[in-house]
Amino acid sequence: MTIVRGPQQTDDATVAAAGDGRAEKLAQPGRLSQMLRAIAEIGADGDAISRLAFTEQERQAHRLVAGWLDELGLQVREDAIGNTIAERPGRHALPAIGIGSHLDSVPHGGRFDGIVGVVGAVELIRVLSERGIETDHPLRVVCFAGEEGARFGEPCIGSKAVTGLLERRDMRAMRDAQGVSLAEALVDVGLDPAKVASSRWEPAEWAAFLELHVEQGRVLEEANRPIGLVDVVSGSTRLRLVTRGRADHSGGTPMSLRADALAAAAEIVLAAEALANDERHRGTRATVGYLSVSPNSITTIPGLVTFTVDVRDVDSDRQRETADDVVSRARQICERRQLGLDVAVIADTSPAVLPIWLREFTASAARDVGVEYLVLTSGASHDAQVINRRVPAAMIFVPSREGLSHVPGEWTSNADIATGVDVMTETVLRLDRFLVGLAGERGLEGAS
């Protein structure tokens, strides 16, 4: 009987054996630049990009990329949640290797977040086609819908749908700032919320998923490294808090008689910051990125304030404990000030530890491409983080200038993106060869 080493037990020597030596640099920066410019025209908002989830602008970007993939001979489809999935057949009926990212943006955001992973996947397919390279496994390009949580508060909607984490009742409950529910937004762009369950992936149909992404930080830039390999993706708990006071005249109401909803909210914001900065929460991030004041008048004491708190951490327990502590302190502050407080959890995503055996393939691929890399943690959420719950996932980062992201100044060089594509291409080819060899050994074992 042959004893087979499973992928979870793969070591560097095993990974190296799957390669053929120094890899060529094949991705073309010029083509990547052209695709980035074409997508950036959709949802252009001055110098920024506003291509929100489940809007016509997002769907237009999906149609553009779908057209490129169709021209490359892939079988392209749209699933019930609006993800675009395109398949390049393999030589054998094996589970697919997935590659891709997302096409939506935050309001007034940049043109690289998510988009780099999509154009990188298109370029990878184009390189293989030009070189006449076939793979034994099918390759599936996935353009996820609704990754950014900016519109509905819930991140990674497309990837949560395919992993079975999105239920119909969630779609009716999630609403944007205009009161539009996710279910209504799906209908508005021609999708059927009643069919979202049909988009769920069967894990047996997928071998692995790879996502190329900009770092959204400055670690790679400061270390002068072109590639980052992600070991852990932070989790995120998102809260919506409403402080309820009394709107009164700013001149006629003495300070001792006020029920100022904004003063209470400000105290809660500082309490959340202090929690994240204390020694027990080293590595925790707490952010208030949205705040709405009513009646929002210069001569009126605020009577109602709605704001969000985004708690992120690589430690699942500490993430939830911190969120609970924020709520506890908010209640104490509002009780002392004799104000009302409403609290709702609008999203909760656990941290993800990405499999080391798959990261070893990306590391070996980077060495063959001839680039140095760092292993680092992602503080941002990603589709790969969610996909990893059902399918082994890996992430490859390329540098972000000055660490800027979610702003118009977000920028990554075309040369760095091309390097990331080359590493991803070599990873795909190594993974394809290794898994075929593993399947062959297991077949021999079953026959003995």
pLDDT tens, 23-35? 778 999 999 999 9
Vertex 258: Cα angle to 257 and 264 (nearest 5) = 140
Question: What is this structure's pTM?
Answer: 0.88
- Measured between its terminal Cα atoms, the distance across the chain in Å is 6
How far, in Å, CA of 123 to CA of 324, rounded? 44
Average of per-residue pLDDT across 290-298: 97
In a domain, 125, yes or no: yes
pLDDT of residue 161: 96
The boundaries of the domain holding residue 216 are: 7-234+352-447
Measured over the CA atoms of residue 89, residue 90, residue 95 and residue 96, the dihedral's sign is: negative
pLDDT of residue 280: 85
Sequence-distant (6+) residues with CB within 8 A of 230 are 354, 359, 375, 376, 377, 378, 384, 394, 395, 396, 397
Whether residue 439 is predicted with pLDDT greater than 80 in this model: the reply is: no
Same domain as 412, residue 396:
yes
In a domain, 59, yes or no: yes
pLDDT of residue 443: 56
pLDDT of residue 219: 96
Average of per-residue pLDDT across 391-417: 97
Same domain as 340, residue 228:
no
Closest by CA to 427, choosing from 351, 373, 353, 377, is 373
Give the H or E element holding residue 303. none
Is the separation of the CB atoms in 254 and 308 below 8 Å?
A: no
pLDDT of residue 281: 85
Find out whether the peptide bond into 295 is cis, omega within 30 degrees of 0: yes
Report the percent of the chain where pLDDT is more than 70. Answer: 93
Backbone angles phi, psi at 295, to 5 degrees: -85, 0
Closest by CA to 102, choosing from 56, 151, 52, is 52
pLDDT of residue 373: 97
Last residue of a domain, which of 349, 369, 399?
A: 349
Last residue of a domain, which of 349, 368, 394?
A: 349
Q: How would residue 444 be classed by pLDDT, with cut points 50, 70 and 90? A: very low
Same domain as 165, residue 290:
no
How far, in Å, CA of 228 to CA of 220, rounded? 7
Same domain as 146, residue 91:
yes
CATH of the domain at 18: 3.40.630.10
Same domain as 261, residue 214:
no
CATH of the domain at 287: 3.30.70.360
Q: How would residue 179 be classed by pLDDT, with cut points 50, 70 and 90? A: very high
In a domain, 1, yes or no: no
In a domain, 27, yes or no: yes
Report the percent of the chain where pLDDT is more than 90. Answer: 88
Same domain as 287, residue 228:
no
Q: How would residue 63 be classed by pLDDT, with cut points 50, 70 and 90? A: very high
Same domain as 289, residue 379:
no
Same domain as 268, residue 290:
yes
In a domain, 165, yes or no: yes
Q: How would residue 14 be classed by pLDDT, with cut points 50, 70 and 90? A: very low
pLDDT of residue 170: 78
pLDDT of residue 283: 85
Q: How would residue 5 be classed by pLDDT, with cut points 50, 70 and 90? A: very low
Same domain as 248, residue 227:
no
pLDDT tens, 108-117? 999 999 999 9
Cα 349 to the center of its chain, rounded Å: 11
In a domain, 2, yes or no: no
Average the pLDDT over each of 62-66, 176-180, 246-250, 418-422 and give the range with the smallest value: 176-180
pLDDT of residue 150: 92
pLDDT tens, 299-342? 999 999 999 999 999 999 999 999 999 999 999 999 999 999 99
Same domain as 124, residue 225:
yes
Q: How would residue 22 be classed by pLDDT, with cut points 50, 70 and 90? A: low
**Total domain count, the chain:** 2
CA atoms in the 13 A half-sphere facing the CB of 269: 17
pLDDT of residue 21: 44
Last residue of a domain, which of 349, 370, 392?
A: 349
Q: How would residue 442 be classed by pLDDT, with cut points 50, 70 and 90? A: low
Whether residue 438 is predicted with pLDDT greater than 90 in this model: the reply is: no
Whether residue 18 is predicted with pLDDT greater than 70 in this model: the reply is: no
Work out the mean pLDDT of the chain and round it to a whole number.
Answer: 92
Sequence-distant (6+) residues with CB within 8 A of 24 are 422
